[in-house]
Chains A and B, each alone.
Chain A
Amino acid sequence: MTGLVRAAYAGLRARRGRTALAALGIAAAALVVGTGTTVSYGLATGFERAARQADLPDVIARFDHRSLASVDERVRALPNLAGRSYRREFLGQRLAANGHETDQGAIDILVRGERRGYAIVRGRDLSGADGEVVVERGLADAWDLAPGSLIEFNRGGRLRVVGIAVSPDNVAYPLARAARVYVDVRQIGRGTDWFSRPNVALLWLRDRSRADITLAQARAVSYGLEDLRLLTRTGIQVLLGQAAGIVLALLSAFSLVALLGAGTMLAAGAQADVQRRLPALGVQRALGFTPGRIAALQATEAALVAVPAAAIGLAAGALAVAGPAADLLAALNEQPPGGALVLPLAGCLAGVVAVVCAAATWPAWRAARRPPAEILRGGDVAPARFGGGGRGGLVALGARFALARRGRWAASVATVAACAGIVLLMLGLASLLERLRDDPGTVGKRYQLTARLDPSLVPAVERIPGVDAATPRYAVDASDAFRLGEPLRLVAYPGDHTAFEAPPLAAGRRVRGPGEAEVGLGLADALGLRPGSTMAAQLPSGGELRFKVVGVVRALEREGRLAWVRPDRLLADDPGLTPSLAIRLRPGADRARVDAALSALGAPPQAVGGATTSNAAFLGVLAAVLRGVGLAVGLVCLYALVQALAVTTRERRGAVALLRACGADSASVARLLAGAALAVALPAAVLAVVLERVAFAPLVASLAAGYAELPLGAAPGQVLLVVAGLGVLAALATALVARRAGREPIIAGLREE
């Protein structure tokens, strides 16, 4: 065994340049696998890790506040119950600190129960002493709060932050609208039982798999509890996992592509190496070496290179995305894996080394099993099946060299195309995320400004240079009249709303009359609505309006809990309802001038954001992760091109040497190799665009189709960028390989030919 390792080591030392190139390729592939694994593993396991750390309850029950005794009596009777805690939750509270403030504060008063359902990640938990508050990590990060900071609530009391907590029952502020803080009832509820009337019960079960029995019983004993909503730990995981699922699927897919690509290229390299060394293999076999011994030597050589190279690549990949991945997990209120990541990375190391060893050993094993005489005869490169004309000069000759090995050429093209297609997809996704953040048009909004102006001013607004059209837009927050707990927003336009707001239609048709409604997918799911159903909306005035659902649309805003109607019935119920004006601008309109003109009319306009303006930071992080991953995949492209060229050059070193003997300088050799690089890069560029258009983008869009219709697809500029990038990578690969080829002694190549 030691002799085998020693022989393998000596072989590698003798081929240092090739060894370094192979190591570089393995490291590049491992880098991509490392980035993919770090993000995927973090996202896949983040919830469970955070839930365990936070002791997340198995069931969270929300209801209208009741006396503690009354609620506890019912809860205690539930089967399978291991523990319980109660909270009083106040939403829509004002919180302020460090120059920040929000009216969307959620104050959770811990009424009873030792189990908290959150994990303290900094500072300490509430002690029951006066003036203490624990804040959620998202709020602490956004407002720069730390233990010791002061936080003001409801323009009155000031509380000192004693701890920072994480609870994965929701995404973090500001991704979640509510900024959550926790206080102890002993400090806030003295002298009154008002604060001791819980509206949230946290339940821990003995056997989580039997939660359905507990939930059924809970519904059975909920008589008298109004607006009961039950949320299970599994339900939370599914909700949070939906968004992460797309990212997970993508990362896994391109990690696999990178690994397979690297494996293919390494196998091609090994094949060429074996081809070159056939006479030596033949001699070894003639001297009595078994095929197993020869293959074992090859495997040992491969392992000696693969283990350190893959370890370095994996570590670099993990470190490169550790920061963005941690930010992503923090936004989801989840915890980074920390040391737990070592095990999957070790698994990846084993996987990469196995792929490399298999790819490198198989050609040697296959060759060594042939009779020695046949091996000794088979050292020459077989001529390609082309016409013998020499048209096109050295560039064409290089292309013919690359095309001579059809299988390897196809593998190289497929690898580069898959990588470039994924880069295109990443760029397209990143742009889409930014458009979702910034561009209202992405979510079907066709107006850019709103202004609180009287509808009678519509003609005046439309006369402003740069304004294309304006119309009154009514928005009323209501709730479902059948299930009062379900909030919804009614949006009304006097005419065809699609001129100003046209979320994609998923089913049915557009609204044509006053009694009709188009509902968002989220609302349709929540209320079980479909075209033909009746939607009953309870208005703030107390009135109830009924609409016939004629269409279901894909709307991202407010989780799709919207309905588009005509304003007639809304105005009949509340004649004092005031709209804002939705203003559509002409392309290239001077925004400053329009703003000034609208201000002169009496109301400064407000810019309309995308669906997720409040989640800008999250989307920014996600876009950065995707672009980073795209860059890593680009490196794999470079490696694939370098490897393809290096293998061709290695195989045709005799031809290169002959050219140099004929007086070809480094530029001529570079032209020859450029031809070989273009023979791979050009079809790969075309295939990449086709793959992205036909396979990748539709696949990702279909993954997201449950939530929204994503206009996914790389822009022409991005296609140009990737094609130009491939050109640059081809030039870079050519320069690298030509430099090496130029250093090789001519006579060594001639001897081989």
Chain B
Amino acid sequence: MALVQARGLVRTFGAGRAARRVLDGADLDVERGEIVAVLGRSGTGKSTLLHLLGGLDRPEAGTVQVAGEQVTGASERRLSALRRRHLGFVFQFFHLLPELSGEANVLLAASVRGAHPDAAARGRALVDRLGLRPVAGTLPAQLSGGEQQRFAIARALVNDPAVVLADEPTGNLDAEAGAEVLRLLRGVADEGRALVVVTHDPAATAIADRVLSLVDGRLVADADAEGRLTSHAPEGRLWARDP
């Protein structure tokens, strides 16, 4: 069974004449070890999809399951537990607390009630593994964008989630730092996690197993039936990843 399963998601913003349906029956399945990149123009509902998958927002219709647990309709307490146990978030603007060092930001996720007992140790290990030890005690304001995002990724992985949701993870980075972050995310998926990456960055699609686009509120494959490139694709690349 897919780690992430969404069916018929509907989400509308505004009311009356100003109402805008950004998701209109979107379906999605993401398997263990798979990275799904979601492309789309601004305002097409990419981030909204991520919020619904992560239980940060509630759909008007449709269902979401993560790691076999129902997200839609769950209580706030249940959603908190679900996010703690199964979900990790990576954001475009990192969202590191400015008064905490990089490592303390990572360990923040380990300090919430109900966090895994080994979370703190795992957090410290992640800091080492991601090559962040030399700057572990540095405040975010003194870190580069790439370093900040690596700390954010470490924070997302502290509770060993099955699913990582990344919202424009390279959107605020230069090409070099973006590539490093994408390499890391690929590694995260290769450890058996499911990743959904929402992005504008064509380079991000390079690490994806599948690329989907949001068109009229629905997710559609960006490759044709034979796996050939569509007009969205960068030259000479096949979206479907080699087995």
CB within 8 Å of A: which of B81-124?
A: 81-85, 87, 89, 91, 93, 95, 97-105, 107-109, 111-115
Closest-by-CB residue of B relative to A391 is B104
- What residues of chain B lie closer than 8 Å to A750, measured between beta carbons? 56, 91, 95
Are B104 and A747 interface neighbours, CB within 8 A?
no
CB distance from A337 to the nearest CB of B (A): 52
Contact A659 B95 (CB under 8 A): no
Task: Identify which of B35-43, B133-141, B183-191, B221-229 touches chain A.
Answer: B133-141
Find out whether the CB atom of A663 lies under 8 angstroms from the CB atom of B112.
yes
Q: How far is the CA of A379 from the CA of B86 in the complex (A)?
A: 33
Query: Is there a chain A Cβ closer than 8 Å to B51's Cβ?
Result: yes
B141 near A388 with CB under 8 A, answer no
The answer to whether A746 and B56 touch across the interface, beta carbons within 8 angstroms, is yes
Contact, CB under 8 Å: B101 / A671: no
| B76 & A742 in contact (Cβ 8 Å cutoff) | yes
Q: Judge whether A665 and B99 touch: CB under 8 Å.
A: no
Contacts of A661 in B (CB 8 A): 54, 56, 83, 89
> Which A-chain residue is minimally distant from B80 (CB atoms)?
A665
Q: Which of A109-117, A393-401, A412-420 contacts B (4 or more CB under 8 A)?
A: A393-401
CB-CB nearest in chain A for B115:
A663
A747 touches B56 (CB 8 A): yes
**B49 vs chain A, min Cβ distance (A):** 12
Say whether B113 contacts A390, CB under 8 Å: no
- B52 CB, nearest partner CB in chain A, Å: 10
A386–B113 Cα gap in the complex (Å)? 24
Contacting residues of chain A (417-462) with chain B, CB-CB under 8 angstroms: none
| Known pairs A390-B104, A662-B83, A664-B80; A383 contacts B139 (CB<8 A) | yes
Q: Which residues, 347 to 394 on A, are CB-close (under 8 Å) to B?
A: 381-384, 386-390, 393-394
Chain B window 117-160, contacts with chain A (Cβ cutoff 8 Å), 1 for yes, 0 for no: 00000000000000000000111110000000000000100010
Q: Which residues of A contact B113 (CB under 8 A)?
A: 664-665, 667-668, 671
Which single member of A388, A665, A747 contacts B81 (CB below 8 Å)?
A665
Closest A residue to B55 by beta carbon equals A746
Are the CB atoms of A400 and B99 closer together than 8 Å?
yes
Complex interface: chain B residues within 8 A of A663 (CB): 80-85, 87, 109, 112, 114-115, 159
Task: State the interface size on chain A (CB cutoff 8 A).
Answer: 34
Q: How many whole Å from A649's CB to the nearest CB in chain B?
A: 14
> When chains A and B are docked, how far (Å) is the Cα of A665 from the Cα of B137?
27
Residue of B at shortest CB range from A400? Answer: B99
Instruction: Decide yes or no whether A222 CB sits under 8 A from chain B.
Output: no
Q: Is the CB of A383 within 8 A of B141?
A: yes
Contact size class for B?
35 or more
Q: Residues of B contacting A393 with CB < 8 Å?
A: 111
Q: Check B109 against A662 for contact (C-beta < 8 Å).
A: yes
Closest Cβ–Cβ distance, residue B158 to chain A (whole Å) = 8
Given the interface contacts A388-B104, A659-B108, A663-B80, does A383 sit within 8 Å of B99 by beta carbon? yes
Q: Mark A5-38, 1 if CB is under 8 A from B, else 0.
A: 0000000000000000000000000000000000
**Closest beta carbon of chain B to A589's beta carbon, Å:** 55
CA distance A658 to B107 in the complex (A): 13
Interface membership of A620, Cβ < 8 A: no
Chain B residues lying within 8 Å of A386, measured Cβ to Cβ, are 99
**Chain A residues, CB < 8 A from B97:** 397, 655, 658
Please determine whether A388 and B111 come into contact, CB atoms closer than 8 angstroms. Answer: no
A659 to B97, CA, bound (A): 10
The verdict on A745 contacting chain B, using a C-beta distance below 8 Å, is yes
Is A94 at the interface (CB under 8 A from chain B)? Answer: no
A753 at the interface (CB under 8 A from B): yes
Within 719-745 of A, Cβ neighbours of B (below 8 Å) are at 742, 745
Cβ-based interface call for A654 (8 A) = yes
Residue A666 interfacial (CB < 8 Å): yes
> What is the minimal beta-carbon distance from A665 to any residue of chain B, in angstroms?
4
Q: B57: CB under 8 A from chain A?
A: yes
B138 x A388 contact (CB < 8 A): yes
Q: B17: which A residues are within 8 A, CB to CB?
A: none
**Closest A residue by C-beta to B101:** A388
What 1/0 mask marks residues of chain B from 59 to 88 whose CB sits below 8 Å from any chain A CB? 000000000000000001100111111010
Give 11 CB contacts A-B under 8 Å: A383-B99, A388-B137, A388-B138, A389-B100, A389-B104, A400-B99, A404-B99, A661-B89, A662-B89, A665-B84, A746-B57
**The 4 A-B residue pairs with the shortest CB-CB distance in the complex, in nearest-first order:** A663-B84, A390-B104, A388-B101, A383-B98
In the complex, besides A383-B98, A397-B108, A400-B99, 8 extra interface pairs with C-beta distance below 8 angstroms are A383-B139, A388-B104, A389-B137, A397-B100, A661-B83, A662-B89, A664-B80, A753-B93
